[in-house]
Structure 1
Amino acid sequence: MKDKLNAVKTVLCAVFAAGCAVLGFFFWDASDRAGALLEENDALREQLSVTQSDAKNAAAAAAELQEQVDEMTAQIDELNSRLEQAAQSGADAGAAGPMVYVTPSGSRYHNEGCQYIGKRAVQMPLADAKEAGYTACAKCE
C-alpha cells in the first residue's frame, strides 16, 4: 500500500507540476500580452498628446488668420466706401458739365489753357458762367 500511495503521490506531484507549468505558461503569455498592450497604450497616449498640441497650434494660427482676414475686410470696405464717394464726386462734377475760368472783374469765360486767363481766375461750370452773364472770349468760342 505504501507503494501505491507513493505512486499516487508521484502522479499527483507530476500533475501538479504539469499544471503549474501550464499555469506559468499562461501567466507568462498573459504578462507578455499585457506588457505589449501597455507599450501600445503609451505610444497612443504620446501620439494623442502630440495631436492635441498640433490641434491647439492650428486653432491659434486659424484665429490669428481670421483676425487678419477681418482686418483686411474692414480695410477693403473702407476703400470701397472711399471709391464710391470718389465716383459720386466725379459723377457730380461730370453732371455740372465742362469747367471754365472767370475773373471777378471780367465778363468773359475762358477754357483751360487760354492765354487770357488772369491770375485771379476761378474755375466754375460753364452753365453757371453763362447763367451769371459771362460770354466766351474770342479765343475760347
Structure 2
Amino acid sequence: MSMACYYLAAAAGLVLLLLLHAPLTDAQPLPWHRCNISSGNYTENSTYHANIRYLATSLPAYAASSRSLFVSSSGTPPDGIYALALCRGDTSVSSCASCVAAAIQSAQQHCPLIKTVTVYDDPCILRFSNEAFPISPPLH
C-alpha cells in the first residue's frame, strides 16, 4: 500500500511540474497588446487621431511628474478619448515616462486605427478608449 502511495505522489508531482513549466515556455514576450476590434476604428488625421496624439504627449509628461495612476481625457463625444497609465511602484519617474511613451507608440503599431487598446508591459500598463472608465475625468 505504501508503494502505491509513493508512485501516486511521484506521478502527481510530475504532472504538477509539467503544468507549472508549460506556461513559462509558451509565454509571449512583453509588451502584450489587447486590440478591442469591437470598439470600432478611427481614420488617420481625424479628430480622434488628433486626440490620441495629444494624449501621446501629455501622458508621458504626467508620468514624469509622478509614478502613480494617471488618467486623462481629450476631446468631446463622439471623438473623445479616455486614457490611463499605471507604472509599477518601484519604477523611476523617467522609466515610467519612457514606458508610457513607448506603450503609446507600440499600441499604434500593433493595433492601428483601433479605438480601444490596452498595452501591458513590465513597468507600465496603458489603456485608451472611446468609452469612459469608472475613474475617468470628464471630456474637455
TM-score relative to the length of structure 1 = 0.31
Select the structure with the greater relative contact order (CA < 8 A; seq sep ≥ 6). Answer: 2
Q: When you count helix as a share of all residues, which structure comes out higher?
A: 1
- What TM-score, normalized by structure 2, do the two folds share? 0.31
